[in-house]
Structure 1
Amino acid sequence: MQSRRTFIAMAATTTCATVATAMLTACAIAPAPDAPPTLAERPPIVFVHGNGDSAALWQTTIWRFESNGWPAERLFAFDQPNPLARDDDAVAQPGRSSTGESAAFLKANVEQVLKATGASKVVLIGNSRGGNTIRNYVQNGGGAAVVSQVALGGNPAHGIWAVKGFRENNEFSGLSGFMQQLNAPKGPNGDEVTPGVKWLTLRSDNNDKYAQPDGVWIGAPGKPTNIGFDGPALKGATNVVLPRVDHRETSFSPAAFAATWQFLTGQAPRTTSFVSQGSPVLDGRAIGAENQSLTGATVTVYAVDPATGARLGEAVHSKVVGADGRWGPFNAYNITTSYEFVLAAPGFGTTHIYRSPFPRSGNFVHLKPERIVAADNGASSVVVFTRPRGYFDAQRDTMRFDGKSPPPGVPPQGAGVATSRLRLEGGGGPRAVTGEFNRERVTGLTWPAASEHTTVLELTY
């Protein structure tokens, strides 16, 4: 049942009808009274990633904006250092960041974008924790003066839990001082959003792992979180419901893009897909868990047979990574060639990352190493099947990993797992392993785990 808070919020704000994800269309949002800007007048957009993530997740969204005519030079994404939130926001923790540090990082990057573009205002688009950072910056860091519109996907706007005595000073607690001050009533209507900025929230109807009344996804199954499915909605915002999308798909799905484009422009996008480019130029960073550059790592790229994962000749690109983490640029053959990215990083072993063909150029093709862990002992090969921009949902998706459906580790119900790990035994030479998710299929070769090699099949969609 919808909470009283959200019922009031929905009645006081512009609210959309639900959107069928399979139709890949946006809900009808009333156009802004002002005429939409021309392409040359489009404001710069800064994309803000979520907890533990990187700018790489925004690559497909950026492709969609470009394919609809938003100038590429006005689309920005940044890798936040130490992207994981602290256990206690007030206590320093190695490899993690506070709410204040996150807001300061965003403020510095917005100022950089304004200076580079000459624009007076920016649009901010954030996923999950990125929404907390945006709200904090706009409300408390001076962002209200330079931000015109904000779109938040899957933002835990009222926390992931609100349980007395349970990590109350964590950023994601609805009882934390941080969350309470963000949601304090503002203006004559008692809105939860900062006035003077136009706000959009995108949420799932009931399939977001971090907006659940039951604590199953936070390690407390059967215990109430005191957060409803409507937790990401905010009074004073345009609140949109996207049926069956998971936590990340609230930002990275075609339906999320369509709703965001409509909100920003007052018009439906021409396409929710990608307009292809003849010879894509690819680049990105080789990074670890804290988004630090893997300086000294080597990245080697091979064209591969999409059906077998076998290499089609010698390497087509190789580079030793410098302090900026950049492994490119790499001039790809065309939009139909599949690639293997080999990342050899000190302290990590060697990771073989297989990807589908790239439809467009991209600067956020990030590469992360995979480790051999204790649970892998005895395996001849380790293969990881991963979906960075969404989760695996056995009730919703068609998927198979090395012939297994659902993939190992994917629960029969709920969208809370984005990675499946396969440990193969028996030795022998390399063989093909395939991961399939709906209409995307990625095939790679196995490599010897004893030599610290792992295989990653990384989905784009």
Structure 2
Amino acid sequence: MKISRRALFASAAVLAAPGVLRAQPAPPPILFIHGNGDHAALWQTTLWRFESNGIPRDRLMAVNMPDPLSRDDDLVPQPNRSSTVEQTDRLTDFVADLRARTGAPRVALVGNSRGGNPIRDFVVHRGGAPQVSHAVLCGTPNRGTSDWPESRNREFNGKGPFLTRLNGGTTDVVPETDFLTIRSAWNDVYAQPRAIWSPTPDRPTGTDVDGPELRGATNLVLGELDHRETAYHWRAFREQFRFIVGREPGHIAVVPEARPVLDGIVTQSAPVVTNRPVPDAVVEVFRTDPETGARIGEALHRRTTGADGRWGPVTVASDWPLEIVVAAPGHTTTHIYRNAFPRSSDVVHLRPRALAAAERSAGGVVVLQRPRGYFGIPRDIVLLDGRQPATLRPGVAVAAAATVQLPAAELGRPVVGVFNTERIVARAWPAAEGRISVAELTW
């Protein structure tokens, strides 16, 4: 494995002469960019881990791309979707903002999936290298997800204009910036020789499991991690930290705070998913019983969002599971059940979840959702209401959610979700009232 020059220099910098201890240079501020259709909240546990290792919160910046979904045709405008040019323009502004805020001459960039595309474009093709010390791409489909002629102008087409330009040189990197890629050995749904993610799962894609690698970069393979875990798993955090900071992290687990403060924004999920704020949404926060999911007392917090969509802040304890209710105009009322937040976060972004047509006739619906990874069978233990969901199939991890429907007579009882060592308890609410429950896993 190629070792970053800056990592070597940083590791050696503590000793300038025998017996003389010198302070290690401060690492650069770090900007985190999410993937296609996602939002900054996915970096929540990663931010906590960096903070737990002494990186000040004001030097960590996880951003929302306003329209996170790519266009069907990158060259044709599409409502609530973004082009590659728009993504790189926004990243350019975010880098300028972080540098101005911290006074740092250079920053580090970490991107998951689509988030790696504007990083490459900015650093290598837009002259951004003097502003970027490190670039970490996690599960980015650098050789595309397919090369099909009918979708030639898609951002993720390996033979399309965008990736052809990015991949057209003799190397994929520039000497001024250290590049690291993190990929799965076989378990990334979007780096496969056949299109298992599509309605034609046996069709050849023109890429393979090594598609996220870059020529000239440090290319790291992390076993059976899935597409999102290459960014958000604790193993990925360790490699990000070592590469950027130049030493091993002292803590892999998150160090809790006594009284975390939570905040974020409500974002749009209907008619199209965006990260644009939703005004006039009513958000309530309740403490819940960890065994039953029942509310304990009155609401800890209640607020109607303004134009900025912000719903907090609220102060909680680091051992309180919570129910967060989001009633947003034009959206299904969503009851989000979360395990205790160990640390403060200002990226607790709330995206209401719609009721599917087939779910509206149920008494109640509970969704077990894993934002920072997928469910892998038999790699993972996944149970919802005492059973492994029938929709989860063995093989490459492809699903991040599973659903159970309850008859009306069973509303109000605990519904338990299990993902390996994480256990979360929710309650079903009447679907007839336009309500849905989401048991959102933290890890």
Q: Distance in 2 between matches of 1:280 and 1:426?
A: 36
Q: Distance in 2 between matches of 1:203 and 1:36?
A: 30
Match of residue 72 from structure 2: 87
Which residue identity does 2:125 align to in structure 1? N
Which residue identity does 1:297 align to in structure 2? A
Tell which deviates more after alignment, 192-201 or 91-100: 192-201
Q: Work out which of the residue numbers 391, 395, 409 in structure 1 matches 2:374.
A: 391
Number of aligned residue pairs: 430
Match of residue 374 from structure 1: 357
Which residue identity does 1:442 align to in structure 2? I
Q: CA deviation at 1:429?
A: 4.0
Q: Work out which of the residue numbers 98, 101, 105 in structure 2 matches 1:116.
A: 101
CA RMSD across the alignment: 1.7
Q: Deviations over 1:73-111 (max 9, x none)?
A: 100011111100001100011110000000001101111
Q: Work out which of the residue numbers 125, 130, 141 in structure 2 matches 1:145.
A: 130
TM-score using structure 1 length: 0.90
Match of residue 18 from structure 2: none
Match of residue 174 from structure 1: 158
Q: CA deviation at 1:138?
A: 1.3
Asked if 1:409 is matched to 2:394, the reply is no
Residues 402 and 428 from structure 1, CA distance in 2 versus in 1: closer, same or farther, beyond 3 angstroms? closer
Match of residue 356 from structure 1: 339
Match of residue 224 from structure 1: 204
Asked if 1:292 is matched to 2:280, the reply is no
Q: Deviations over 1:139-190 (max 9, x none)?
A: 2333112111101100001101123x230110000001110111122xxxx3
Q: Deviations over 1:113-139 (max 9, x none)?
A: 111111111100000000011111112
Asked if 1:423 is matched to 2:408, the reply is no
Asked if 1:254 is matched to 2:238, the reply is no
Asked if 1:14 is matched to 2:5, the reply is no
Which residue identity does 1:341 align to in structure 2? I
Q: CA deviation at 1:277?
A: 0.6
**Contact 1:29/1:262 (CA < 8 Å) preserved in 2?**
no
**Contact 2:27/2:244 (CA < 8 Å) preserved in 1?**
no
**Contact 1:154/1:204 (CA < 8 Å) preserved in 2?**
yes
Which residue identity does 1:161 align to in structure 2? S
Q: Secondary structure at the match of 1:112?
A: helix
Tell which deviates more after alignment, 294-303 or 422-431: 422-431
Q: CA deviation at 1:432?
A: 1.0
**Contact 1:214/1:223 (CA < 8 Å) preserved in 2?**
yes
Alignment of 1:61-80 (within 5 A): 61-80=46-65
Q: Secondary structure at the match of 1:65?
A: helix
Alignment of 1:321-360 (within 5 A): 321-332=305-316, 334-360=317-343
Asked if 1:32 is matched to 2:8, the reply is yes
Which residue identity does 1:440 align to in structure 2? E
**Contact 1:154/1:251 (CA < 8 Å) preserved in 2?**
yes
Structure 1 segments (4+ residues) deviating >6 Å: none
**Contact 1:399/1:438 (CA < 8 Å) preserved in 2?**
yes
**Contact 2:46/2:237 (CA < 8 Å) preserved in 1?**
yes
Q: Deviations over 1:175-230 (max 9, x none)?
A: 01110111122xxxx31123311000000000000000011113321111111100
**Contact 1:433/1:446 (CA < 8 Å) preserved in 2?**
yes
Q: CA deviation at 1:66?
A: 0.5
TM-score using structure 2 length: 0.94
Q: CA deviation at 1:431?
A: 1.3
**Contact 1:203/1:232 (CA < 8 Å) preserved in 2?**
yes
Asked if 1:435 is matched to 2:420, the reply is no
Which residue identity does 1:415 align to in structure 2? A
Match of residue 455 from structure 1: 437
Identity of aligned residues (%): 46
**Contact 2:411/2:427 (CA < 8 Å) preserved in 1?**
no
Which residue identity does 1:32 align to in structure 2? L
Q: CA deviation at 1:31?
A: 4.1
Q: CA deviation at 1:428?
A: 4.7
Tell which deviates more after alignment, 372-381 or 128-137: 372-381
Q: Work out which of the residue numbers 306, 315, 319 in structure 1 matches 2:303.
A: 319
Q: Distance in 1 between matches of 2:141 and 2:157?
A: 9
Q: Distance in 2 between matches of 1:278 and 1:29?
A: 39
Q: Work out which of the residue numbers 118, 135, 138 in structure 2 matches 1:133.
A: 118
Q: CA deviation at 1:399?
A: 1.5
Q: Distance in 2 between matches of 1:353 and 1:78?
A: 22
Asked if 1:301 is matched to 2:285, the reply is yes
**Contact 2:427/2:437 (CA < 8 Å) preserved in 1?**
yes
**Contact 1:36/1:265 (CA < 8 Å) preserved in 2?**
no
Match of residue 216 from structure 2: 236
Q: CA deviation at 1:302?
A: 0.4
Q: Distance in 2 between matches of 1:160 and 1:300?
A: 40
Match of residue 5 from structure 1: none
Q: Distance in 1 between matches of 2:353 and 2:37?
A: 15
Instruction: Please list every run of 5 or more consecutive structure 2 residues that lacks an aligned counterpart in the other structure.
Output: 15-22
Q: Secondary structure at the match of 2:239?
A: helix
Which residue identity does 1:400 align to in structure 2? L
Q: CA deviation at 1:232?
A: 0.3
**Contact 1:408/1:422 (CA < 8 Å) preserved in 2?**
no
Q: Distance in 2 between matches of 1:428 and 1:41?
A: 55
Tell which deviates more after alignment, 98-107 or 41-50: 41-50
Q: Distance in 2 between matches of 1:168 and 1:138?
A: 24
Q: Distance in 2 between matches of 1:224 and 1:330?
A: 50
Match of residue 86 from structure 2: 101
Match of residue 21 from structure 1: none
